[in-house]
Amino acid sequence: MRKRWTCFLLLLSTFLFFVCDVSIAQQAVTAAKKANAAQKTDTKVIAYYFHGTYRCYTCTKIENYSREAIGTYFNDDLKSGKLEFRSVNVDESANQHFIQDYQLHTRSLVLALYRNNQQQKWKNLKDVWQLVQDQDRFYQYVKSETTQFLEEAK
Using one digit for the tens of pLDDT, what is the confidence trace for 114-127? 999 999 999 999 99
Instruction: Convert the pLDDT of each residue in 78-94 to its tens digit.
Output: 999 999 999 999 999 99
- pTM of the predicted model as reported, rounded to 2 decimal places: 0.72
Helices (H), the chain: 2-41, 57-73, 75-80, 97-101, 128-131, 135-152
Round to whole Å and give the CA distance between 6 and 30: 36
To the nearest whole number, what is the mean pLDDT of the chain? 86
pLDDT(146) > 80: yes
Tell me the domain boundaries of the chain: 1-41, 43-152
* pLDDT tens figures, 4-20: 666 665 665 666 566 55
What is the CATH number that goes with domain 43-152?
Answer: 3.40.30.10
pLDDT, residue 154, reads 86
